[in-house]
């Protein structure tokens, strides 16, 4: 593992690169690890704006959710996951989530977390 930014690259850039390389089209067929990346919730609410991933798990306000059973989506740089959530109340949310890699208009690679309700960008977790 690199220390001090890997020859000038900030650590967050390395985390985003590792996450992007693990998506379809890369050599690995294993589920990717999203550690070091955060789901950008847009604004703080019951949780901070940036929600960190721990591998393929993420904590929301009242749920801890894990992505499993990945299926590569043909024709897209994407994987479809089953999202299973645990909560202190009955019938927590779950469903399907698409993790999609796209190139933006500026040519920058971006990751998206897409479920039945919304699309949120996955970004390097802010420092501090």
Q: What is the pLDDT of residue 57?
A: 97
Q: What is the pLDDT of residue 77?
A: 94
Tell me which residue range forms the domain holding 119.
5-124
Q: What is the pLDDT of residue 98?
A: 97
One digit per residue, pLDDT tens: the chain, 128 residues? 333 333 333 333 333 434 444 444 443 344 479 999 999 999 999 999 999 999 999 999 999 999 999 999 999 999 999 999 999 898 888 899 999 999 988 999 999 999 999 999 999 999 86
Place of tokens 């999609």: 100
Q: What is the pLDDT of residue 23?
A: 46
pTM, rounded to two decimals? 0.74
DSSP letter, residue 35: T
Count of domains for the chain: 1
Q: How far apart are CA 111 and CA 128, in angstroms?
A: 22
Written as one string, the DSSP assignment of 44-97 is: -SSS-SEEEEETTEEE-SSEEEEEEEEEEPTTSSEEEEEEEEEESSSS---EEE
Burial of residue 11, with CB atoms counted within 10 A of its CB: 0-12 exposed, 13-18 middle, 19 or more buried = middle
Q: What is the pLDDT of residue 58?
A: 96
Q: How far apart are CA 111 and CA 68, in angstroms?
A: 18
Q: What is the pLDDT of residue 25?
A: 43
């Amino acid at each position: 593992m690199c220390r001090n930014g890997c020859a000038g690259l900030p650590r967050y850039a390395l985390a985003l690169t590792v996450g992007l390389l693990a998506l379809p089209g890369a050599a690995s067929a294993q589920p990717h690890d999203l550690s070091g990346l955060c789901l950008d919730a847009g604004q703080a609410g019951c949780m901070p704006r940036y929600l960190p991933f721990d591998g393929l798990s993420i904590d929301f306000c009242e749920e801890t959710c894990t992505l499993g059973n990945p299926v590569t989506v043909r024709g897209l740089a994407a994987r479809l996951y089953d999202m299973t959530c645990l909560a202190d109340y009955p019938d927590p949310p779950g469903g399907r989530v698409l993790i999609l890699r796209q190139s933006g208009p500026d040519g920058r690679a971006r990751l998206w977390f897409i479920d039945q309700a919304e699309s949120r960008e996955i970004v390097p977790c802010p420092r501090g």
